[in-house]
Amino acid sequence: MVAKLDGKVAVITGASSGIGEATAEALAAEGASVVVAARREDRLSGLVERINGNGGKALSVAADVTDEGQAHELVRRAKSEFGRVDILVNNAGVMQLSAVEKGLSDEWRRMFDVNVLGLLYATDAAVQVMKEQGSGHLVNISSVAGRRSRATTGVYSGTKFAVNAISEALRQELLEDNIRVTIVEPGAVATELATHITDEDAKENLSGLLSLDILQAEDIANAIAYCVTQPERVSVNEILIRPTQQP
């Protein structure tokens, strides 16, 4: 049986843990060659070994997406190793929640650098390749926070509202190039994401939500696999997935 993504090449940022790691495994299981990127190389090597050990094709590239040159080099490596770039999953992200009045400006900068500028740098590089190929698919990981802002999520929500705004513009700009754009908006998922929050009030705020039966990274990976395995005429523009009990 031919797997749905046979012959396709997917680049996944933020693949050293959580949703990115699960997505790499899901797309490799559908037959894609996957290029997995993040800063923690040891975590990427383990993932690559697992995928290759299961008969898949994976390559790791250490990349900090906030560095424009490294984001472009990631896409260049994917093309030079595997010949094309069909799918880019812009997943790398950080969430350092706090009330705006706390003034944690280093964390504000980090979130905009990774969640917004990192996405733009990788997208810019991938779109050039996809245009030459005549097709491609950008999957941008936003959040429920990209639809609604709450106390302590303001700046993080700002980055994810930006992801949604940029994604819809890209969709319109690229449709004639046969490049699809999908926004994926997860609710709470059990990953390392919340462990980087430094503000105690924000941690406390989130604790009730995290005590629910929240999503697993595989749940989002399955949704991404669904979006990228549809026939070329089908563009899933937006997909919002909450844990059943999330308010």
226 is annotated as an active-site residue: no
From 82, 108, 121, 156, active-site residue? 156
The residue within the footprint of ligand NDP, chosen from 10, 12, 19, 104 (CB under 6 A), is 19
Question: Do the beta carbons of residue 3 and residue 27 sit within 8 Å?
Answer: no
d(CA 192, CA 189): 9
Asked if 20 interacts with ligand NDP (CB under 6 A), we say yes
What is the torsion angle, in degrees rounded to the nearest 10, for the CA atoms of residue 25, residue 232, residue 7 and residue 47? -10
**Beta-carbon count within 10 A of 75 CB:** 26
Asked if 18 interacts with ligand NDP (CB under 6 A), we say yes
Stretch that binds ligand NDP, among 47-55, 64-72, 130-138, 231-239 (CB under 6 A): 64-72
d(CA 197, CA 200): 8
Question: Do the beta carbons of residue 164 and residue 146 sit within 8 Å?
Answer: yes
Residues 129-148 that bind ligand NDP (CB under 6 A): 141, 143
Residues 78-97 that bind ligand NDP (CB under 6 A): 91-95
Residue 189 is classified by DSSP as B
Question: Do the beta carbons of residue 36 and residue 47 sit within 8 Å?
Answer: yes
Question: Site mask, ligand NDP, residues 180-219, x = CB under 6 A?
Answer: ------x-xx-xxx--------------------------
The residue within the footprint of ligand NDP, chosen from 31, 45, 57, 64 (CB under 6 A), is 64
| Polymer length of the chain | 247
Strand order in the sheet with 87-90: 57-62, 33-38, 9-13, 87-90, 136-141, 179-186, 238-241
Stretch that binds ligand NDP, among 33-41, 98-106, 127-135, 229-237 (CB under 6 A): 33-41
Task: Write down the least CB distance from residue 145 to ligand NDP, Å.
Answer: 7
Task: Write down the least CB distance from residue 234 to ligand NDP, Å.
Answer: 23
Site residues, ligand NDP (CB under 6 A): 13-20, 38-40, 63-66, 91-95, 114, 118, 141, 143, 186, 188-189, 191-193
Supply the residues annotated as catalytic. 156
